[in-house]
Amino acid sequence: MRAWMMFSGLMLLSILVNSINSERICFSCSGMRQDEKCQHAITCDKDEICFVQKYFTHGNETKYDVGCTFQELCQKDVTGHILGKRNEHAHIVCQKCCNDSNVCNYDLSCQNIITRNDNIHLISTNSNHKISIYMELPDGQSHKANYTTFNVSNEHSLYVLTVTGYSGDPGQNSIDYPNDSLGANGKPFTTKDRDNDKYNGNLAVILKSAWWYSSSYYSDLNIAYSGSSGTMYWSRWSSGISKSLMMIKRTY
């Protein structure tokens, strides 16, 4: 509750007024270090709740965002084990949502899931998991792709991706695309220093990314952000995915 001590009188008044109007108030700051306290609160839009998100930046710093978010992003797909992406290609470590009181997102703690491939392999092979991929376009339109099973093999086997059971918006099943030169399913992971793709060259170097490439690709949610020329790729919506989340959840 220390954060309450940092409110200005004006902010406290605003919170009290909005509380009377039954609107949700959340702390809203981005790029915070763990030892920082957010001193800014906002009124959420209708149907939004408070969240805390911990992530690694591209430069491997640990940062936190807090604010309002849509309830769909806090439902069961996100409350289990997650791995993911966020804007600017940082990796989500964990996320917590709350709706029990105003500014309930003052506590930056959330369940810590490290998302290196080694850990994803351990997580995904210790029990059965499904994966849900959320993609958002700049105009706010969103799409989901789900796979009922998800697995990443170990380092010795080059972190081969296995997914089955696609469902989602009508469109292309880009990861499990039946054309072997395009689909990511069954392919080893390629990084800039580990060329495991079938392309005559290294697609991870060309795309400044790392993914389960074949000789080409139909999906890549790791492409380095570089303004309009660099966007995450999912064949049907390739013209500009601005945000994506990859979430896995235990299915037992």
Applying CB under 5 A, the residues found at the interface with Ca ion are: 195, 197, 199
> Could you tell me the two tokens for 24?
């949700």
Rounded distance, CA 107 to CA 3, Å? 9
Helical (H) or strand (E) element with 98: strand 91-98
What CA–CA distance (Å, rounded) separates 47 from 145?
A: 23
Write down the least CB distance from residue 202 to Ca ion, Å: 5
CB of 211 to Ca ion, least distance (A): 12
From CA 57, how far away is CA 65, in angstroms rounded? 12
Continuous segment of H or E residues that includes residue 15: helix 9-20
Which CB, 197 or 220, lies closer to Ca ion? 197
**Closest distance of CB 200 from Ca ion, Å:** 6
65 and 56 Cβ atoms separated by less than 8 Å? no
Least distance from Ca ion to the Cβ atom of residue 121, Å: 22
Q: Which is nearer to Ca ion, 151 or 190 (CB)?
A: 190
Question: Minimum Å distance from CB 5 to Ca ion?
Answer: 56
Nearest C-alpha neighbor of 93 from the set 125, 129, 120, 67: 120
Q: CB-wise, 176 or 197, nearer to Ca ion?
A: 197
* Cα 235 versus chain centre, distance: 19
Q: Which is nearer to Ca ion, 48 or 197 (CB)?
A: 197
Considering beta carbons, is residue 210 or 245 the nearer one to Ca ion? 210
